[in-house]
Chain A
């Protein structure tokens, strides 16, 4: 087994567990065609699209989560998730985001101004290290899915991280060690 990878994923703990259970589609169907099933309502999809872009926005270095179609991937994951609770978590979580928005602005999240949306997400993120309230917990879930989706796209891997590996090398790269 690869021990470094093993260690890294132990460290990532929860995220790795999420990744293992958040797959899409019937096995055969999935192997022959991209997943097309959906779960989110159009309103929910727009909200997740917006939230994902707030977490990983387009900047002068690379396109963000919207361009990488992160929301659509999360949608397909949830449509085919084995556990109903994964879908419930998101439906309830997005309602909570709207509620937080209404509490402070009297508007839904999508009706709120960009600054007001940032205030809502900031409030959700404030206990990221030690989540207690439902909105804290949903922020962890939201961010983990967005991160896992974005950094596995061609935009995330090639344009943002500028990953240089997964290629055939004639010689190994790095520093020689002499005997």
Chain B
């Protein structure tokens, strides 16, 4: 059977496996959605393969449902389990082996409201991996992790793109800020972003819509840090706060704050998600065909030319294997899944996996390190009248300040902090306030709005020896070999984390907050969900996988447009850069395609 009717979802063309599409996109998250948007807007006929199912997040997320309106106060069914930090630390992957639970999820399902995201993140039992400890968070569904992402939408600067020129470590990117700036602008205007201009050379401004506001303590911190030449700015959220006239699927933000109470997600789609931001508009062009429940298992190549000719995929429901044909293959399955698929796509012309003549696929794996953080008490807020503090997509961002003009003696690169202050729906201090009784109850109430906290995200250096490969024995539910991790934080990360602890205290003291807790523990590798760099771009085909347009050095009709292409991690959150780069590359791709050069 070569015709498969897609039953769920919007009206969409039938998948025709006899035809040759202009392009196949593998993956429907930030990168895949963007690739589909850009190519369909230029008239290319695109088939989008998504491993998971289509979930109607407009109904699923129930963003404003109160805990007491849910039979389990928002928690998952009791036969499901979320992995804890302790489990990630004391066990080795695969973490869900020998479990009694019906389903096991990554740590994000241990947060409040886990029932609303339980169908978005994967069941670890079906998706095992092996090797070193790693908290790998995956979402297999249309839109992937963009359905629940954290929304912090930051630009990188030439301090990042030209890091090697700045401090001598690693590799420069094959692009500079001026190459990507026009595409950051397009992403801002097409998808919407909230923030305040700060004119910082190391954190370029976006084209911002209406900014959110700061809580009182956050403003105190902002003002006190001016003396130290450090900045606290309202959360730069990938959220449309003014609305988007060109997009009928998304509402503007109404400050419901639902995004901060749960793993994430927005049932009115004010926060960017790939389906409503990119994929549904792309379907409206008539040029996009979507095949969900389609797990790619190999990128097929023409044995004579070595060029990509299509994709072999498994139907996740029936286990049947199909082949789809295309003139161009665009891989956007996420940093780690893309590396896995490239390594699995071995052929006589590409014996190490497609696009891997350099041997660098899976290597130079990097991300952000997390853990150090701080909580302070704002004394004049104790017992103060209640204010509405969490009606916004995020609190504040405190950008990098290390290794810009000065040179730190202990480590290279930098880190930023994300934080927030004020009352939230659930008073977290109730679990930490000792005692019981009337005095306890009053203290919880009086103090709950008086805390401010922040946590750091630091650049993990790109190192060749930090890598993933394919496990020679272990397979997933569909018989596809799993990823094996060989990845550890290094000395630079440890020293950077020590510095985070010190500067966090220094800044809270300067602001006059009473420090009540300092987190010093470094969280398990993977915790930031910002994995990057397993198929990096570069000018040298011996030490990189892709050129500056995310095009394989080896296979000219094969592109990898997700975070795997990043040369270094920076300390800024990657989603906005993933989309700006994908837009730039797919502009180039479409132009080359039309010229017949692919």
Contact = CB atoms under 8 A, between A and B. Distances in A.
Interface of A: 1-13, 15-17, 19-27, 30-31, 33-35, 54-57, 59, 61, 64, 73, 77, 80-82, 118, 121, 125, 128-129, 143-144, 147-149, 151-154, 157, 160-179
Contacts of B234: 177
Interface stretch (B257-265, B347-355, B589-597): B257-265
Interface of B: 64, 66-68, 71-82, 84-85, 100-101, 108-112, 114, 137, 145, 148-152, 196-199, 210-216, 218-219, 222, 233-234, 241, 254-264, 373, 375, 386-392, 394-395, 418-420, 423-428, 430-432, 434-438, 440-442, 445, 448, 453, 455, 457, 517, 519, 523, 529
B71 A31 contact: yes
A4 B418 contact: yes
B441 A174 contact: no
Contacts of A179: 196-199
Contacts, number: 256
A174 B213 CA distance: 5
Given A9-B110, A20-B82, A174-B215, A2 B197 contact: no
A82 B424 CA distance: 29
B78 A6 contact: no
Given A165-B257, A174-B213, A125 B436 contact: yes
B390 A128 contact: no
Contacts of A152: 67-68, 73-74, 426
Nearest to B118: A27
Contacts of B114: 20
A177 to B, nearest CB: 5
A15 to B, nearest CB: 5
Contacts of A34: 71
A30 B428 contact: no
Contacts of B392: 172-174
Nearest to B420: A4
B152 A167 contact: no
Contacts of B67: 152-153, 157
A55 B436 contact: yes
A7 to B, nearest CB: 4
A121 B75 CA distance: 29
Contact of A3 (B68, B110, B152): B152
Given A9-B112, A57-B438, A166-B64, A24 B71 contact: yes
A35 B67 CA distance: 14
Given A10-B523, A22-B75, A157 B212 contact: no
A78 B445 CA distance: 28
